[in-house]
Amino acid sequence: MQEDAALPELIRLEKNKELQQIGNKILHQERLTPREGVLLYEQGSLSYLGALANGVRERLHGDTTYFNRNFHIEPTNVCVFSCKFCSYSRLYAHREEGWELSMDQMLDIVRSYEGKPVTEVHIVGGVHPKLNLPYFIELIGKIREIRPDLHIKGFTAVELDYMFRKAKVTVEEGMQLLKQAGLQSLPGGGAEIFHPEVREIICHDKVDAEGWLRIHETAHGLGMHSNATMLYGHIEQYRHRIDHMERLRQLQDKTGGFNTFIPLKFRNKNNDMSHVKESGIIEDMKVYAVARLYLDNFPHVKAYWPMLGRQKAQLTLSFGVNDIDGTIDDSTKIYSMAGSEEQRPTMNTAQLVTLIKQVKRKPVERDTLYNPIRDYTDIDIREIELNPLLN
Ligand code: V47
Ligand code: SF4
């Protein structure tokens, strides 16, 4: 890809010598150290970080910005864990305040997409003590029967860890069984912040960093791909964010199985951390930029638009992001309960394409594994709106 000619000049003009050195490393595609990662956060101006990250994004992807056509199923919000930031779960003892979809209700959701050109179902929910490994194996099998063409991306490492321990199977055995049933990849949730200084405070009782990473490593070993998230903007410090990304970078060196990194902005409504102020837009953009610079072995950085809002998601495209997730169509509540920008997050293809075109990027529909499905650059929005196969 063509490099922006202004970038070397911008780096030359940077007054802070350490930041200038980092800029030159980025230009020469050299890996940043953890210390340099922290320094970027502490001293890098937004414009400098943005220009560097944008250069990396351009080198890797040109103007292509991906989206996919997917829908979410949240089996339940009943959860045995008590993450302080979670606005969504209800403890089993208070399960009458929560919801639990039956197998038939979930399959009806899948059936409701008959004839619609979605390519992925994303399944993530709370950790219900009664919903076990055989149940989810059955669910995946039945989804496959109804829609063999759908890519099934499901279950955070937190859900999987609990499922496997309850079923008394090893991670290898459990992953193997789910793979045989038809599970194809793992979403990136449950990672939060790996460092125990933070994890102990915000989510002490669920799988730890090592357990999370082991589950993803095992999935990668079986040829499955996965994503990784980072919940930022609460009590963590810069060094915790860099430690988080460092652990991911190391695993990615080993397996190459991660597709995309998704920073998740902490939202403070209706949870036990409501007293914690949310991050501002400048910090949000820095998180994306530093992620793009630090995670040199992650092919993609994704902005999850329901959490950020559409305009901020658009802005992230100038700070290293090359993917804005999907149509989502989430009729339930995982994010809206935490105070996300979108109360019932869904966008149709025309809306996603418009968002991407407004910032002069090329919208390309992808599948879960980032195989391009259709380039919308030269397709008129009106044509998309009128064609049910495109919208
Ligand atoms: O791990 C919970 C987050 C995650 C809050 O892989 C919150 O494509 C912000 O797995 N404020 C689950 N975030 C979501 C998830 C996901 C989402 C989008 C895309 C993908 C993917 C995966 O939701 C949890 C947690 O980090 N979360 N509460 C909150 N108050
Ligand atoms: Fe349960 Fe997930 Fe909420 Fe934690 S974030 S309480 S594991 S639903």
Query: What whole-number distance in Å separates Cα of residue 28 and Cα of residue 149?
Result: 41
Q: Which atom of ligand 1 is nearest to the CA of 269?
A: 30
CA distance 346 to 72: 10
Pair 33, 76 in one domain: no
User: Which residue has the least CA distance to atom 16 on ligand 1?
Assistant: 189
Same domain, yes or no: 231 and 194: yes
Is 86's C-beta closer than 6 angstroms to any atom of ligand 1? Answer: yes
Task: Name the more confident of 73 and 334.
Answer: 73
pLDDT at 346: 76
Considering only 201-215, 311-325, 376-390, which range has the smallest mean pLDDT? Answer: 376-390
Above pLDDT 90, what percent of the chain?
82
Whole-prediction pTM:
0.95
Per-residue pLDDT, 1: 42
How many residues does this entry show for the chain? 391
196 plus 88 within the same structural domain: yes
Whether residues 174 and 150 share a domain: the answer is yes
**Residues 186 and 328 placed together within one structural domain of the fold:** yes
Distance 81 CA to ligand 2 centre (A): 6
Q: Between these two residues, 76 and 340, which has the higher pLDDT value?
A: 76
103 confidence band (pLDDT: 50, 70, 90) = very high
In this predicted structure, what is the pLDDT of residue 90?
A: 77
Question: Which helix (H) or strand (E) is 174 found in, with range?
Answer: helix 171-181
Q: Is the confidence at residue 343, as pLDDT, over 80?
A: no
What separation, in Å, do the N-terminal and C-terminal C-alpha atoms of the chain show? Answer: 30
Question: Could you say which of 26, 46, 61 is where a domain stops?
Answer: 61
The partner residues of 120 in beta bridges, in order of sequence, read 70, 151
Q: Is the pLDDT reported for residue 141 higher than 90?
A: yes
Average confidence (pLDDT) over 234-239: 98
Q: Do the domain assignments include residue 317?
A: yes
- The predicted structure's pLDDT at residue 214: 98
pLDDT category of residue 333 using cuts at 50, 70 and 90: low
47 shares a domain with 168: no
| Ligand 1 atom with the shortest distance to the CA of 265 | 9
- Regarding whether 50 and 73 lie in a shared domain, the answer is no
The confidence score (pLDDT) of residue 98 equals: 83
Residue 391 lies in a domain: no
Give the C-alpha separation, 289 to 291, whole Å: 5
**119 and 28 within one domain:** no
Q: Choose the residue to mutate in 82, 87, 231 for probing ligand 1, maximizing ligand atoms within 8 Å of C-beta.
A: 231
- pLDDT confidence of residue 344: 60
Query: Could you give the CA distance from residue 22 to residue 37 in angstroms, rounded to a whole number?
Result: 9
The total of structural domains in the chain comes to 2
Taking the C-alpha atoms of residue 311 and residue 141, their distance in angstroms, rounded to an integer, is 38
pLDDT higher than threshold 70 for residue 331:
no
Sheet with 185-186: list strands edge to edge: 70-73, 120-123, 151-154, 185-186, 225-232, 258-265, 300-301
Residue 328: per-residue pLDDT: 75
Q: Which atom of ligand 1 is nearest to the CA of 87?
A: 30
Q: What confidence tier does 307 reach under pLDDT thresholds 50, 70, 90?
A: confident
Q: How far is the CA of 38 from the centre of ligand 1 (A)?
A: 24
Provide the residue range defining the domain that includes 195. Answer: 66-386
286 lines ligand 1 (CB under 6 A): no
pLDDT(312) > 80: yes
- 3-state DSSP assignment of residue 258: strand
* Distance (Å, whole) CA 373 – CA 202: 39
CA of 168 to the centre of ligand 2 (A): 22
* Count of Cβ atoms closer than 10 Å to residue 362 Cβ: 17
Domain membership of residue 301 (yes or no) is yes
Helix (H) or strand (E) holding 70: strand 70-73
pLDDT in tens, 143-185: 999 999 999 999 999 999 999 999 999 999 999 999 999 999 9
Instruction: Annotate 303-330 with b (16+ C-beta within 10 A) or e (fewer).
Output: bbbbbbebebbbbbbbbbbbbbbbbbbb
**Are residues 129 and 32 both part of a single domain?**
no
CA distance 72 to 113: 12
Q: Which residue has the higher pLDDT, 142 or 345?
A: 142
Which of 29, 44, 61 terminates a domain? The answer is 61
Q: What is the pLDDT of residues 18-61, one digit of tens each?
A: 999 999 999 999 999 999 999 999 999 999 999 999 999 999 99
74 and 57 belong to one structural domain: no
CATH no. for residue 180?
Answer: 3.20.20.70
Mean pLDDT within 113-129: 93
Structure token digits, residue 205: 């009782």
Q: How far apart are CA 42 and CA 192, in angstroms?
A: 21
Does 101 lie in the same domain as 48?
no
Residue 167 confidence (pLDDT):
97
What mean pLDDT is reported for the chain? 93
Nearest CA to ligand 2 atom 4: 83
